[in-house]
Amino acid sequence: MNASTKVKKLFNSIILGITFSPAIYIILGALVGFSTLFSIIMLPPYLISTTLIIYIRLYKSNIRLAHRVVESISLCFVLFFILIISDYNLQSDIERIKAIILFSSISTLFWFVFFSISNKRNRS
């Protein structure tokens, strides 16, 4: 495995880690702190954005400019969703940032292990 493959694997892990960090908030019950209308309005665009990012990162080998634009817009929405959902309890801004970094790091580590295992299986 050359250096560019490792960098690509790490970059994909970071992007997917950021994308999936709101899922950790949802699992921990962050949606309870919001109204039902919030879930109805915000969850479908988040799920669509996540699906698009997964599709582009995992299944597209040649990525065109249009895919990059769609992925960038989806990632911007995910970041917006993270900022909103991280405010589900009374935390200071520093605590929110620490929680976002922690959840993104956990998710990134998961994806990095996923890519490492899948890369080993592809080589065998």
pLDDT, tens digit (0-9, with 9 covering 90-100), for 4-23: 788 888 899 999 999 999 99
C-alpha to C-alpha distance for 42 and 77, rounded to whole angstroms: 10
Tokens linked to 50: 């996540």
Cβ atoms of 54 and 15 within 8 Å: the answer is no
Q: Which residue has the higher pLDDT, 122 or 117?
A: 117
pLDDT for 121? 66
> What domain range includes position 12?
3-123
* Average pLDDT estimate for 72-88: 92
Per-residue model confidence as pLDDT tens digits over 25-71: 999 988 888 889 999 999 999 999 999 999 998 887 787 898 899 99
Total count of domains within the chain: 1
pLDDT at 118 over 90: no
pLDDT for 69? 93
User: With bands split at pLDDT 50, 70 and 90, how would you rate the model's confidence at 123?
Assistant: low
Burial of residue 53 (CB within 10 Å: 0-12, 13-18, 19+) is buried
- DSSP labels for 71-111? HHHHHHHHHHHHHHHTTSS---HHHHHHHHHHHHHHHHHHH
| Amino acid present at 48 | I
pLDDT for 14? 93
Q: Which residue has the higher pLDDT, 75 or 121?
A: 75
